[in-house]
Amino acid sequence: MVRGLKVGNVVQVDWRFRRALIALDLSLRVGDEIQIVGPETDSRQTVTAMEYMREKVTRGKPAQKVWIPLVERARPGDAVVIMPPSEESEEPAGE
């Protein structure tokens, strides 16, 4: 089951470097928990790094294509979904 906000799609996979090129519809940041979903794909991972036009960045903006490292297999056309924060992290700190 997919719960979250779709931010883009996988357009290309480079298995030599274990990374995927993501075409973004919404912004994506390093540290975001994502799920990559398709007909034969369903994996979750944290975005540990991001590259835009051969430069390391911490945030990808809408309409950009960014490379992210892959933990498991992904295929062109797979959707990239940001996972909602867990119940525990929604509580204000110190209360």
Domains and CATH numbers, the chain: 5-83 (2.40.30.10)
pTM for the complete prediction?
0.84
The secondary structure of the chain, three-state, reads CCCCEEEEEEEEEECCCCEEEEEECCCEECCCEEEEECCCCEEEEECCCCEECCEECCEECCCCEEEEECCCCCCCCCEEEECCCCHHHHCCCCC
Q: What is the pLDDT of residues 48-84, one digit of tens each?
A: 999 999 999 999 999 999 999 999 999 999 999 999 8
Judged against a pLDDT cut of 70, whether residue 31 lies above it is answered with yes
